[in-house]
Each structure stands twice: as C-alpha cells, then as structure tokens.
Structure 1
C-alpha cells in the first residue's frame, strides 16, 4: 500500500453551500404552516447537520494524513533497524527507538 494523500471525492464546501441553499428554499417555499412541523423539523435538522459532518470529515482527513506519515516513518525506522542489524551495527534498535520516542511513545515503559 502506498502512502498516497487522501482527496475527498466530494467538495465539502459545495455540500455546505447546497445545504444552506436547501434551507432557504424550504423556508421560502413553505413560509407558513403548510409544511407539517415534523417534516420541517426533520429537514432543518438534516440540512443543518451537513456543515458539522463536513467539519468532521475534514478533521478525520487531517488525522488520517498524520497517521499515514507516522506509519511511513515507523516503516522507515524498521527498515533502518533491519539494515543496521544486517550490517552488524552496535545498536541497531536505536533507529526504531528514536522514531518511537519522536512519536511520543516511551520505549522504556513500552507505552
């Protein structure tokens, strides 16, 4: 598996804009009580959820990018460790330990 960047298949800002447009259409098309209250409430709740969902998708995509970078760095450290062991270096695990420490793991406590 390659460490390719994540690109959302949908335009999140466009989804937010469309939800705002839909809210305006609902409000302007049925300004009075002609639309049943439960239907209006369900439409409003669904359309108002879109910006929060888009923000969560963005947050998760940032977290995914960071996780992929950490995974790639650990893989590189593991390869360096194996090569150092093969080459007879005195402390081949230092590569892996350094990377684990850089990622916030306490190698002594095995956290």
Structure 2
C-alpha cells in the first residue's frame, strides 16, 4: 500500500505544488503545508476507491485540507491579535510587563 501511495504521489506531484502556490503565499508555508497535505493524503488513502482517477481524488483531498489549514491559521491569527491588543491596553493603563503577566495568570 505504501509503495503504491508513494508512486501515485510522485506521478501527481504537480497537483500538490499548484495547490500550495495558490493557497499559501510564503515559501516556508508552502514547504510546511506541502508536507501537511501529503500527511492528509496518507490518512485518507485507505478511503480511496478506484472508481475515480487518483489525481481527481488527490485534488479534492488537498483542497479540503488546504481550506482546513487556512481556517485553523485564521483562528490562530485572531487569537494573537486579541492577545496583542489586550497587552497594549494594559500598557496604556500604565501596567508594567510584570504586572500584566501576573494579571494574565490570575
């Protein structure tokens, strides 16, 4: 099964690169998410049925995984923005970084 999977991925490598180039802008992101997409494909591979072309199935799995990654990243960005905004508000209130840390831990 592993050998078949690796052969199919190798034959359809261009799909992975296209999706990474469309959905992810930074080079580091593209490299990381390229690996993440391969992991997602491997997890989904047992569900692959030969009723469709592998490339079609692969494309669908990668698109869905890319969208999930972007949703997750968007939530993380919102969380970071909130944390930074809260920190700035504390600074405006005149609290020192040590006081801010103590307040956040309580």
Same fold (TM over 0.5): no
- Answer with 1 or 2: which has the greater Rg: 1
Normalised by the length of structure 2, the TM-score is 0.41
Which structure shows the bigger proportion of residues in helix conformation? Answer: 2
